Structure 1
Amino acid sequence: MAYEDTPLQKNEDKKRFEINVDGHYAFIDYKPFGKGTALVHTETDPELAGKGAAAAVVKKTLQYFDDHKMTLFPFCPYVFAYIKRHPEWKRIVSPRFKGYGDL
């Protein structure tokens, strides 16, 4: 399933970036971290598991960070692995992130 037309929402109340697909969510929890923002956990509702929704919400969230000139700390292992597979996103990761050299 493609998610190009599925909008990313920044849910301030729940402190997460999310996409909603027919009432089911893929999301990334975030929290302020120093002069940046930490992405700490990625999850999808079971109905979206294995359908590319997690990768879509990560890609859309990274684009949001890039568009808003935000600095990222990818503590979530899924986000870290995504950036490692797509090194063009390393440009928005804080060089102070402990795993920066491993990306």
Structure 2
Amino acid sequence: MESDAIRDNTDRHRYEVTIDGHLAHADYRVEGDVITFTHTIVPPALEGRGIASGLIRHGLSEARARGLRVVPQCPFVAAYIRKHPEWADLLAAPLD
């Protein structure tokens, strides 16, 4: 998945991408200098294609560029950061 296909829908507070007519998104909220990723939704038709990972990688890159700390409320985001420790420096608090 190309990162430039992902858009930040600030009105709906989510990073989103449409592939083959299906919408996938990673929801967030920003409070001050903290972004909390709350949900990651990938339709069954898109599962297993790395869509969720691409959305989260994009969101974490944006957080880094904006100087935001990250709270991975969404279990997928927490698991992604555990698997990719190069993002751990963004965490507002250590993972459990």
Output the TM-score relative to the length of structure 1.
0.81
Aligned-partner residue type, residue 72 of structure 1 = V
**Identical residues among aligned pairs (%):** 33
Aligned length: 96
Amino acid at match of 1:9: R
Q: Secondary structure of 1:88's partner?
A: helix
Q: Does 1:56 align with 2:54?
A: yes
- 2:24 aligns to what SS in structure 1? strand
Alpha-carbon shift at residue 101 of structure 1 (Å): 4.6
Q: Is the 8 A contact 1:6 1:21 kept in 2?
A: no
SS of structure 2 residue aligned to 1:13: coil
Partners of 1:87 and 1:5 lie apart in 2 by 20
Structure 1: runs of 5+ lacking an equivalent: none
Q: What is the CA RMSD across the aligned residues, in angstroms?
A: 1.7
2:59 and 2:45 mapped to 1: Cα distance? 21
- Give the counterpart letter for 2:85 in structure 1: P
TM-score (norm 2): 0.86
Give 5+ residue unaligned stretches, structure 2: none
Tell me which residue corresponds to 2:85.
87
| Equivalence for 1:22 | 20
